[in-house]
Chains A and B, each alone.
Chain A
Amino acid sequence: MVASLALILLAQLVGEALARGAGVPVPGPVIGMGLMFLFLLARDTAPGLPRLLPKPLTDGTLEGTARVLLANLSLLFVPAGVGVVGRLDLLRAQGVKLALILLVSTAASLLVTVLVFRAVARLVERRGGDPDA
């Protein structure tokens, strides 16, 4: 558990340092996600590496920690969400207009994204690939 957390935080820390250092518009944790992906790939392909690593990183504990965090992803947005309640006064002046824009644009965003994904997937997968839904 501690080894898993240490590795996760390390990936985030390095990601944060890279993001700030290079000034790219990607959040540090997203770069950390990429680093974690590379770690998993190296762990499972480089011969001999698993023996050098602490056991929790190879016996599924790391994956278990990830599962717990992702299963409760909603919880992590609560503190920021509570902050919104306190600042709803900022919306008072333009509240109705903003609500309308958020609703329409979010619906449009979902609609276009899903339809384009499906259309292109059908096009690509008809030419050889096997569609897996």
Chain B
Amino acid sequence: MGGDFSLWVYLTGTPLLWLTVTLTAYVAADRIAAATNRHPLANPVLISVVFVGSVLAFTGTPYPTYFEGAQFVHFLLGPATVVLAMPLYERRATVVRALVPMLAALAAGAATTLACVIALARLLDLPAPIIVSLAPKSVTSGVAMGIAETLGGDPTLTAILVILTGIIGAILVTPMMEALRIRDMRARGFAAGLAAHGIGTARAFQVSETAGTFAGIAMGLNAFLTAILAPLALHLMS
């Protein structure tokens, strides 16, 4: 046991272990998702998080220790956002043609999300700091945390709500669009990116590259618009 334990102590001290666990969990989750024919409920982010979360709980590993290994994966979020430029560039003619519907949907979507969140939160009698933390929940996490912090919310709570929103949106989008019989992949992708930021965009890329492209655009535009509208909406609806 002594030998095993020192091996464990050694391994948990390097980023190797948790990086490997993260990648392995994702590969397994992706296989499961593929086996279900990319069923919306078999969301690879959700399955991976459950796998890794169980391992951490079982081994009593604190999150900061895990993150030392996982940070290399987390870091790639930035570069992945930059390369959204490639599908955007390839489809620039389609995107330019859809400029008017995009801007209309952006304005309507961002305003609806804020109004809906704040109205529901007031109806359910949530305390003001939680309402502020909720308001930017459809926006990509870095910007959402910044908005919450500036307006007096709790950025950590916002980060959690943002991730949960992403997973909920990624699960809801396909069944909803099928039920509404919407086949326009531009509209479907744009909605996924606006409502569920990067996780919705990841889902959209699974369905179609056109959907993914429009999801990426919506994510970027909504970060900008919600940063402007959130303080306004919170003020108007207070």
Contact = CB atoms under 8 A, between A and B. Distances in A.
Give the bracket for the number of chain A residues in contact with chain B: 35 or more
Contacts, number: 306
Contacts of B105: 113-114, 116-117, 120
B83 A112 contact: no
Main secondary structure of the interface of B (DSSP, over half): helix
B148 interface: no
Interface string A67-85: 1011111111111111111
A91 B104 CA distance: 34
Interface in A10-50: 11-12, 15-16, 24-30, 32-37, 39-41
Give the bracket for the number of chain B residues in contact with chain A: 35 or more
Contact of A78 (B70, B137, B185, B220): B70
Contact of A110 (B52, B134, B141, B195): B195
Nearest to A96: B124
Contact of A121 (B172, B176, B184): B184
Interface in B96-117: 97-98, 100-102, 104-106, 108-109, 112-113, 116-117
B195 A109 contact: yes
A65 B79 CA distance: 10
Contacts of B235: none
11 contacts: A15-B82, A32-B81, A34-B85, A37-B88, A74-B48, A77-B45, A77-B202, A78-B22, A79-B73, A85-B57, A114-B105
B45 A74 contact: yes
Given A79-B73, A80-B74, A114 B156 contact: no
B30 A74 contact: yes
B223 interface: yes
Given A37-B88, A78-B49, 13 more contacts: A27-B223, A33-B81, A66-B87, A69-B80, A75-B44, A77-B202, A84-B164, A88-B160, A90-B157, A94-B126, A107-B176, A113-B190, A114-B190
Contacts of B44: 74-75
Interface string A54-72: 0000000011011101111
A15 B82 CA distance: 9
Contacts of B227: 25-26
B168 A102 contact: yes
Interface of B: 22-23, 25-26, 30, 43-46, 48-49, 52-53, 56-57, 63, 66-67, 70-71, 73-74, 76-89, 94, 97-98, 100-102, 104-106, 108-109, 112-113, 116-117, 120-121, 124, 126, 130, 134, 137-138, 140-143, 146-147, 154, 156-157, 159-161, 163-169, 172-173, 176-177, 180, 182-188, 190-192, 194-196, 198-199, 201-203, 205, 212, 216, 218, 220, 223-224, 227-228
A15 B79 CA distance: 11
A103 to B, nearest CB: 6
